[in-house]
Structure 1
Amino acid sequence: MAGDPVAALVAALKADAGIAEQLGESVFGGELPMGEAASMPRKALVLKPSGGPSLTNGSNAAHDTQRIDVFAYGATPAEAAALMADVSLCLLWLQRAVWAQTLIHWVNSAGGYMSGREPDTDWPRVFKSFQVFHALQSVS
């Protein structure tokens, strides 16, 4: 089976005591579930794959990089920004480990952040991209 870097980062964030204290289970991969919309705007995270350059292009390595976009939501722009600051530190401090059956070697910032509002709903959010180096095959 293929490794899933989005699921791995969701699992890592949910396992972090500081993030879990702020969000509980409100960390999602791919998109915000329909049932969550009624509770918004409030603190929540959505992680999405978004392309980016491969650091193993042209090799036979069983590892690759994936850019992951993280969207931090809050009741206010300041709350969303504070959440993103905490999430950024958590991701950047991740050590080589297996999360959700995916080996993550490292997570790096892929640039600065952007604050604003969700276009369709006007919910406050902060957006930031990260580059993840991970194993392509899942780990049992």
Structure 2
Amino acid sequence: MKRSKHMSGWSPATWRWMVAAVVLMWASGVLLYLWPAESVMEMRDWQVHLRHASVVLHGVLTWLLCVLCGRGLWPHLRVMWQRREQRAHWIWGVLSFVGLSFVAGAGVLLLYGSPSLHDTVSAAHWWVGVALPLLMLAHVWRRFIPTRA
């Protein structure tokens, strides 16, 4: 049996798909925020179609991100949970996980929750969702810095 290289639970393909899914979810979420459902009647046809495509894309990417989290995030957490010697990096990881969990929970509440919660949950989902890529980037910033030999 061939041994795979240990990469903290991530494969390069999972990493690329996860980044692509987060970026596209962020972009579709921004578009949905800029063009809320209440203003559909005043929109032009192309805006309505683009908004609808963003809703569908956001939903499909949510499913994909859940699959990718199962594929990459849980093995990553299992491997990295005990490595607390890099305190700042570890804390950014915990904050990223909490932010991702909050956005996911708020998304479920938006989809299935009470209409009375919608405005509050929507605002929280938006602000945490907008900040989440920056939080995740703070967690992985060392990956992009060249190492000195």
TM-score tier, shorter chain, comes to under 0.3
Which structure shows the bigger proportion of residues in strand conformation? Answer: 1
Structure 2 length as normaliser, TM-score? 0.27
Computing the radius of gyration from Cα coordinates, the structure with the larger value is: 2
